[in-house]
Amino acid sequence: MKHLKLFAILLICFCVVYSSCTHRDQTKITGEESSDSLISLTEDQARKIILLPVHCLELEYPNKLGQVLGSANDLKSPKALRPIFYGCFDWHSAVHGYWSIVELLKQYPNLDQDGAIRNKLNQHITPENMEVEIAFFNDPNNLNFERTYGWAWLFKLQESLQDWDDPDAIRWKSNLQPLVDLLTEKYISYLPKLVYPIRAGQHDNSAFSLSLSLDYARSVGNKAFEEAIVKHGKRLFIEDVNCDLSYEPSGYDFLSPCLEEAYFMSKILDTDAYNSWLRKFLPSLYTASFHLDPAIVKDRSDGKLVHLDGLNYSRAACLYGIAKAGGSDLNHLRQIAHNHLDYSIPNLSAKDDYMGSHWLGTFALYAIQHAQ
């Protein structure tokens, strides 16, 4: 009998301890212990982020070319094919790596006191190299290369250069403009042919690229591009209702189909129309009890699985944007955005596996900017 009582006491103690530990672990997973210190871009954080693209801009291999071969003559090295955007594993990652660098140098010029980073950009972004890049996009076998994800990141880079009154930046912008113009024309031509939006959680997502592209069009005053995006954005999404977040994320997502659409629509609808649309599209966002756990990465060396860290960043950016556009009824979304950012920021390091380090800094910076 004494043994049974002792066993019962030990069992109760174990259950209490286990429950407490389990709760602490869950708090860590869901990010309920949020800190605003992780959402303000400090110079130390900027230095950590900028090291990631600087490290890989000239790192030619490993490389995912993604091209269509028309003949054996097309078998060339990444640098020979794309002498500006050949590093950082793939073309679009190289592009948004440049965007990260430009954004951070604008805010923290001391990150490049010796001019080494500027020197790299000056060596790469030249008219001669741009001719080679354009030739690749004009190749009949690769007319749709990086449509529209990579195109949108190039627009974002150009947007960043647009408002930087700096001699180097002005020259880089001028050198990039021919490719920007070409892809703008391609995008305007493509949109009427896109009968249905692409709702994937990866590169092809229509709402994400439309959102970045719209920011660029407005920043440079390209009314034709802006009007095309707004017109077709409404056509593609205005009738959507009841997007089910319970089906997200898929195992490889780095974008949320529901949230990316909701954020994009906030940019093309006025406040009243947006709230009316959003209450039909994602009514759950308006409940104070709305909850969304950060995504968990189990293997950071797996290039697909590590996408989920990017999802935490892109979700955060969307939630910040939606909360700002939707008004006081959606203020609670900011805390959920904080949780997502807090959860994945500690993984951001040059020592991280290259499958994540070559691109995640950009998504972290993008999210932090939205938190301001």
Q: Could you give the residue ranges of the DSSP H alpha helices within the chain?
A: 2-30, 43-56, 78-81, 91-107, 116-124, 127-138, 149-162, 167-190, 206-220, 223-237, 257-268, 271-281, 307-326, 333-344, 354-357, 360-371
pLDDT given at position 101: 98
pLDDT for the residue numbered 138 = 97
CATH class, domain 39-371, is mainly alpha
The CA distance from 223 to 230, in Å, is 10
Give the residues of the chain that fall short of pLDDT 70. 1-39
Domain boundaries along the sequence of the chain: 39-371
Kindly report the three-state secondary structure assignment for every residue of 322-365.
HHHHHCHHHCCHHHHHHHHHHHHHHHCCCCCCHHHHCCHHHHHH
Whole-angstrom Cα Rg for the chain: 23
